Structures are given as structure tokens and as C-alpha cells.
Structure 1
Amino acid sequence: MTRSAQVTGGLLAAAGGVAIAVQARVNGSLAQSLGNGLLAALVSFAGGWFVLLAVVLTRQSGRDGLSRLRDALRRRRIRWWECIGGISGAVLVGSQGLAVATIGVAVFTVAVVIGQVVSSMVMDNLGVGPGESKPFTKTRVAGAAVGVIAVTVAVSHQFTSPGTLWLAVLPLIAGLLMGWQQAVNGLVREAAAHSMATILVNFSVGTVALSLVNAVTWNGVPGAFPSAWWLYLGGLLGIVGVGGAIMSVRFIGVLMVGLCAVCGQLIGAVLLDAVSGHLALPTVIGVVLTLVSVGVAALPNGKMRT
């Protein structure tokens, strides 16, 4: 793998992270307007799904990508459970609605990142994603640890009463699933040989999962949907976020995708906070530490002794 390909992969993952940071703010505002976080998540996912459906089905290359994926499933070159990575997104947004109000955004964020970093390292070590397996090394473990510390520092000024900390298990599970999602989405991309078709599969699974959750927890139609157009951009931002991970994982591996995406999320948070006039020093320090974690994890090193 060339250095330029690795840099491109890192930039794609970071761009996806920035999109996810903006998406979180947009979806949070939509949830507040609707008074229903799960419904807001469904609106976001479904919006992205409709856009992807139109783009993929109206292009011959997109239809060919879906055909290749169907053929790969039929020939068992890829397994069905490797095509349901989109359920991770549904779990993440569902846990937001269930846990954030109690444990706070800071604890939630740290729990997600810990789960994501651990899962990403395991996926790389097992070789679940596309490309060669990447065994545990001292530099990769150190980079992952610095990444977790970076996020903790970045959100430290937001910590309030932790409430019932056992609820942090929910975002921890969501983070663990994110590492797996990035790995299997890379496999789907290889089978389909088409990024947009892969993202469509991801969004289809997430939309179905959120539809089922909303059906079970349905509290009625909200009085009115907000008129602000930007509140409905969450789906498009999600496409960029998922697409960045899908296109970069074959270049840099699952762990580096996770660290670069976290870096992008923190950069996005800095930009949003700067625009709103609420920029905090810990967030800036967190961005710097995350950049350090990416550099450390990328350093060559031998396998760890066992």
C-alpha cells in the first residue's frame, strides 16, 4: 500500500468524522423539535435511504453493483451477516435516545469511543475487514490508548453528574458494533465493487431496524414537523460519514479508520463550537492528542510478545 493511498484513506475517514459531528448536532436539534429521538433517527436514516435508492437504481453502475453483491451472496463469497452492518447505526442512535439524558453526552461519547477502538483493534487482528490482518503491536495499542485519552480530555468540560453509569453499557455496545460495522462494510464494498451500492445496503438495514424499534415504541404522530430545511440533512451527512469509512478501510485498516474518524469528529466539534462561540480549550487539546494517536498508531513496529 502506497503512502499516498494511506493518506487518502485517512483524509476520507476524517471527512466522514466531520460529517458525523455535524449530523449529531442536526439530528439532536430534530429530536428536540419532534420530542422523539427514535423518530428523529428514523427520519434521518430514511431520508438518506431515499436519496441512495434514487442514485443507485437510476445508474447502471449502481444496479450492476447490487447484482454483483447478490451474486456474491449466492455463491457464498460473502455471508449474509456481513451485509447487516447498518444495524450498528440503528443501535447507536437508539442508545442515544435511551442513555444520553441520564449519563450525559460526555460519558456517552467516551463509552462509544472505547468500544469502537477495542473492536477496531480486534477486527484488524482477526482480519475481518478487507486487506491483510493487522496484529496487535505496541504502537497500535499506544495509539488506541492515546485516542481514548484524547476524547476523554475533549469532553471533560461537559462532565456532570454521571447518573446511573450502568447505562454506559449501551453506548459501549454501540461502539463495539461500530468497529465490526466498518470491517464488514469494507467486505461488502469489495463484493459489490461500488461504494454507493454498499452504502445503500447499510442504510436499508438501519432503516428497517429503526422502523421496527419505532413500531414497538410508537407514541403517536408528533403535532407538527419542523419547517427548517437543514434539520433534514442528517441522512445526507450520514451518507458522507458511512461512505468515508467504507472507502478508506481497505487502505488503512479498521483501527486507523476509527482513529481518523474520531479526529474528524473532534475537528468538526471545534468548528461548530467556534461558530457558535462556545469553543473550549479541552476540545482543542483533544484534537491535538487525537492527531498524535493517529501518528503513533501508524508507526511501524513488531508484534507484541505474548
Structure 2
Amino acid sequence: MLQPSRLPAAAGLPLALLAGMAIPAQSRVNGELGAALDDSLGAALVNFGMGLAVMILVSVLLPRGRAGFGQILPALRERRFPRIYILAGVIGAWFVLTQTLTIAILGVAVFTVATVAGQTLTGLVVDRMGIGPGGKKALTLMRVVGAVLTILAVAWAVSPKITGGGGTGDWLLAVLLPLSAGMAMSFQQAMNGTTGMHYGSPITATLLNFVAGFAALLVLWLVKVAVSGTGNALPDTWWYYLGGPLGCIFIGVGALLVRTLGVLLTSLGLIGGQLTGSLLLDLVFPAPGSTVVAATVFGTALTLAAIVVATLPWNMPGVRPLRRRARR
């Protein structure tokens, strides 16, 4: 079996930040595509179809991808991991679908808070249970403080957009969808990290993510077409089709990093990248009506500080792990 490379945390966290920047760009692209098609489910299907095409090409062209592909059947036959892990892509499909379904109702701000809250909380749980390839990680005070600070920082960063919206009654129920997607994403990253380790490459784990996600969305879309017909024709705007390739970056880097950083730190790094990317988008390519205020800038800075806090060792002066007191 191939041995996937491991990156030190000093290199892994910046890489997670860069990969996280793909998500706000993907949200913008998918939102525009969904509006052009007048079909949120169709937009999610196109997103996964483009991502699948990219990953097939990468898997064929790169030696690492071909070698990893050859490990799929042996890994399943030898039960190197629970077979249900190959369905991790269904979680990704659910995330993209909730993205296209609720962005128009919630806005990117509330959507971000909901997914971050779910992802951060379950990141602690997944690490504690040892589901990821890095095994169990202690529930230290620094990790808990970092997770709580991240949620508060994200809420602060997007607070102007939340308070500037309408009444909460319009989105209280809808917010449960991205919350559930965020909670599931930590499990997806753990599953991808584990399968990528046994395939010997995150390329193969990412490929199978898009296979499973595309298949699930295709079934749902065919049912939708049978009931209510198709939406508009595919638009000519080329950048509407970048959502899938951006998802490849996000999923592939996440699968690579969870073995080294663990699920929580990988999630926090990706979250920091999401906020930074959103800030850069609003500054460089602002959407109509979007503004950048002090809370957005300082909230993003606090998120990055929270990630640093979560990486600090528990055995600092005055800090103890969260476990039972040792017997005297």
C-alpha cells in the first residue's frame, strides 16, 4: 500500500487556509448558476459533474492517481476501513445542495455561521472518538477554547450582515439545513482522511467523493424532473462551472491534512480560509449591496487568532488537559 505524505502543522495550516478560500468562491458561483438555471438541484448536479470530470482527468494523468485507483478494490476487499466510508461524498452533495437551497433565504452570512458552528462542534467530537486517521486526540482546554473562539469570531465577522437583514422568522427553520451539513462535514473529512491513507493518495478519496455525490444528486434530480420538469438551459458564462473544481481543492486538501492536523484543526484552518476568502471577495469582487465594515475585518482576525490558540499545547504554564484528575 502506498504511504501518503504527511505535512507538518506549520505547512498544513496555511494550506488549509488557502483551500478554505475556495468555499466562498464556490458559494458565489453556485448561487449564480442556480439563479441562471432556476434549479438549485440542477446547479448542485452540474457542480458535482464538473468536479467529477476534473478528478477523473487527474486520476488518469497523475501516477499517484492511477496507483491510488488500483488500491480501491483491495482496500474494500480487505476491509481496511468501514465500507460506508466510500459514501462520504453524499455528505458533500448535501452541503452543496443546502448551499444552493438556502443562500437566497439566509444569505452567505447566516449560512456561514450555521455551517461553522456545526463543523467546529463535531470536529471536537470526531477527534475525541478517533474516527480520523490521526487517531484519538485529547480534548484539551486550548482546543475547546479555540473552537468556542472560532464560533464567536465568525458570528462577530458576519454580524453586520445578519442584523442588517429582515426578521429571523424567514430563516430560523432554513438554518437547520446548513447546520446539519456543517455537522456532517467533520465526519466527511475524517472519512476522507482515512480512505485517502489506505488508498495512498487523497486524489482517490476525492474522486470517490465526487462519484458518490454525483450519483446521489443525479437520482434526486431525475425524480425532480419527473415531477416538475427541468429548469432553464445551461448558461454560456464560463465561470459558472468553476464550482466543481473549487470543491476538488477543498475536499482534496482536507483529506490530505486530517492525518497530520486532526479533524478539528483542519476544520478551523478551512474555516479561517472561508472568512478570509469572503473578505477578499467583498473587497475585490463585491456582490451588489455588499460592504466591508470593521466587525468583518476584526472578526476574521479573531478567527485566525482562535486557530493559533487551538494549536497551542496543553502543557503550557497553568494549562491542564480536560480529563480526570490524577490520583495523588
TM-score, normalising length: structure 2:
0.88
- Say whether 1:216 aligns with 2:223: yes
Give the CA deviation at 1:77: 1.1
- Say whether 1:116 aligns with 2:119: yes
**CA shift digits 1:186-220 (9 cap, x unpaired):** 00110110121111011111111111221222233
- Say whether 1:87 aligns with 2:90: yes
Higher helix fraction (1 or 2) = 1
Unaligned runs of 5+ residues in structure 1 are none
Aligned to 2:207: 200
Contact 1:17 1:262 in 2 (8 A): yes
Equivalent-residue separation in structure 2 for 1:31 and 1:215 (angstroms): 17
Equivalent-residue separation in structure 2 for 1:96 and 1:132 (angstroms): 31
Aligned to 2:252: 243
- Say whether 1:303 aligns with 2:303: no
Contact 1:15 1:244 in 2 (8 A): no
Contact 1:9 1:249 in 2 (8 A): no
- Say whether 1:284 aligns with 2:305: no
Contact 2:98 2:177 in 1 (8 A): yes
Give the CA deviation at 1:4: 7.1
More displaced 10-residue stretch of structure 1: 170-179 or 61-70: 61-70
Contact 2:30 2:100 in 1 (8 A): no
RMSD of equivalent CA atoms: 1.8
Aligned to 2:267: 258
Contact 2:193 2:202 in 1 (8 A): no
Equivalent-residue separation in structure 2 for 1:4 and 1:216 (angstroms): 43
Aligned length: 304
- Mapping for residues 33-72 of structure 1, pairs under 5 Å: 33-72=36-75
**1:186 maps to which of 190, 193, 204:** 193
More displaced 10-residue stretch of structure 1: 48-57 or 214-223: 214-223
Q: Percent sequence identity over matched residues?
A: 40
Contact 2:31 2:100 in 1 (8 A): no
TM-score, normalising length: structure 1:
0.94
- Say whether 1:268 aligns with 2:277: yes
The 3-state SS of whatever aligns with 2:230 is coil
Contact 2:39 2:232 in 1 (8 A): no
Contact 2:7 2:257 in 1 (8 A): no
Q: Which amino acid aligns with 2:285?
A: S
Of the two, which has the highest radius of gyration?
Answer: 2
Aligned to 2:239: 230
Equivalent-residue separation in structure 2 for 1:55 and 1:104 (angstroms): 34
C-alpha spacing 1:243/1:30, structure 2 compared with 1 (3 Å)? same
Q: Which amino acid aligns with 1:256?
A: L
The runs of at least 4 consecutive aligned structure 1 residues that moved more than 4 Å come to: none
